[in-house]
């Protein structure tokens, strides 16, 4: 019961304890007309990255072709197909401000993290109000809705974080860079009876100063199936732009009529119903909200992981829900490449 709880009160994080993606140490692989025999994983990854592949594409190629006979023509076809898919994802995210991904976190990891978070939330709610602030972050529409801060030192949290980064590393490294800081790490919980939040963006892009703001990207992963009656996250695609923010948040346009007109200029809202372990990436400037949980008894839990680009200012409105002990200490590349302790 206290696996997760105990790690909230022990904060001597060693980055060497964070896990990394583990694959077979050697592979036999034919790529682009060049045969690569018995290379270590890191050497092979370096070779493929030099060919211009994203990290994720390289991993897919290893998975498809490792240990098999292949020819130059088929390798090239797969190479270009995967490169095209990476490009499509990038363009869709930049256009819409969000992108869905399947199979981000494994079923067993989701279930173990659900169990741990339920236990720690139960213990936290027994505490005095003043003591809860360490574990519960501020959240809009807080009645029966909680943002539970997670410790990356906890084994099950570390495992979930690693699975997220293994899936999203190529996407995130291109959007915010491998030096991006882990900025938020929490589980957002909404119980039956929780009301819908108002539409909001986590950060805003207004005024000249915001032109120098770093990009903040948040990953949400469903720790159980999320159906319509459980209050899925609602997104307004294409509301992450400067033009939209000036229309919606600008002082001259802050009335309801002007805001509705602004919403009418973009795509209709999208309800993010999800299968367990699937998720989506979201630009923090995108208009969104947590829906109302109208189910009879279902609890909705979303793992929330944010990364802040290192090449700009902290954007206005960002909450940085990460536990203080870990702020400004963990980067995207650390999570993905650091070996676990033996």
Per-residue tokens: 243? 């033009």
One of 3.20.20.450, 2.40.10.120, 2.40.50.100, 2.60.120.620 is the CATH number of 97-337, namely 2.60.120.620
Per-residue tokens: 38? 């018995």
Neighbours of 38 (CB within 10 A): 11
Nearest alpha carbon to residue 138 among 222, 202, 214: 202
Write the DSSP assignment of 123-159 as a string of letters. Answer: HHTTS-HHHHTTTEE--SS-TTEEEEE--TTSHHHHH
DSSP label of 280? E
Split at pLDDT 50, 70, 90, the class of 10 is very low
- Given a contact cutoff of 8 angstroms between Cβ atoms, the answer to whether 213 and 315 are in contact is yes
* Residues 121, 68: Cα–Cα separation, whole Å: 48
The pLDDT score that the predictor gives to residue 181 is 95
**Most confident residue range from 26-35, 214-223, 332-341:** 214-223
Question: Per residue in 291-329, pLDDT tens?
Answer: 999 999 999 999 999 999 988 888 877 667 888 899 999
Distances (CA, A) of 335 to 9, 192, 302, 338: 21, 34, 20, 6
* Residues 234, 171: Cα–Cα separation, whole Å: 22
Nearest alpha carbon to residue 295 among 174, 166, 194, 155: 194
Question: Per residue in 102-157, pLDDT tens?
Answer: 999 999 999 999 999 999 999 888 888 777 777 887 766 577 899 999 999 999 99
Strand partners, 271: 234
Question: Per residue in 240-281, pLDDT tens?
Answer: 988 888 888 876 655 666 676 777 767 678 999 999 999 999
**Positions of CATH 2.60.120.620 in the chain:** 97-337
Distances (CA, A) of 302 to 83, 221, 230, 265: 30, 5, 12, 29
Percent of the chain exceeding pLDDT 70 equals 67
Residue linked to tokens 């964070």:
18
């Amino acid at each position: 019961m206290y696996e997760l709880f105990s790690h909230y009160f022990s904060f001597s994080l060693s980055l060497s304890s964070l896990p990394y993606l583990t694959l077979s140490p050697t592979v036999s692989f034919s790529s682009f007309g060049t045969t690569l025999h018995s290379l270590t994983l890191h050497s092979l990854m370096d070779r493929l990255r030099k060919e211009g592949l994203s990290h994720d594409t390289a991993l897919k190629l290893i998975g498809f072709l490792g240990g098999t006979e292949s020819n130059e023509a088929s390798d090239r076809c797969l190479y270009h197909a995967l490169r095209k898919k990476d490009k499509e994802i990038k363009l869709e995210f930049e256009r819409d401000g969000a992108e869905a991904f399947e199979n981000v976190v494994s079923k067993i990891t989701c279930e173990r993290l659900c169990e741990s978070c339920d236990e720690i939330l139960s213990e936290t709610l027994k505490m005095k109000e003043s003591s809860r602030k360490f574990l519960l972050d501020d959240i809009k529409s807080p009645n029966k809705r909680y943002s539970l801060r997670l410790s990356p030192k906890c084994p099950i949290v570390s495992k979930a974080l690693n699975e997220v980064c293994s899936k999203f590393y190529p996407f995130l490294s291109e959007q915010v860079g491998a030096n991006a800081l882990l900025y938020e790490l929490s589980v957002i919980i909404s119980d039956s009876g929780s009301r819908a939040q108002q539409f909001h963006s986590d950060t805003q892009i207004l005024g000249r100063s915001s032109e120098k703001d770093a990009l903040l990207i948040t990953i949400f992963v469903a720790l159980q199936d999320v159906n319509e009656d459980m209050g899925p996250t609602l997104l307004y695609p294409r509301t992450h732009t400067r033009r939209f923010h000036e229309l919606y948040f600008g002082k001259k346009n802050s009335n309801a009529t002007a805001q509705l007109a602004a919403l009418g200029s973009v795509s209709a809202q999208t309800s993010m119903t999800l299968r367990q372990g699937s998720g989506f990436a979201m630009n923090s400037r995108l208009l969104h909200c947590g829906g109302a949980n109208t189910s009879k008894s279902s609890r909705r839990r979303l793992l929330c992981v944010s990364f802040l680009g290192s090449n700009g200012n902290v954007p206005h409105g960002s909450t940085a829900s990460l536990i203080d002990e870990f702020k400004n200490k963990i980067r995207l590349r650390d999570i993905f490449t650091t070996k676990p302790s033996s």
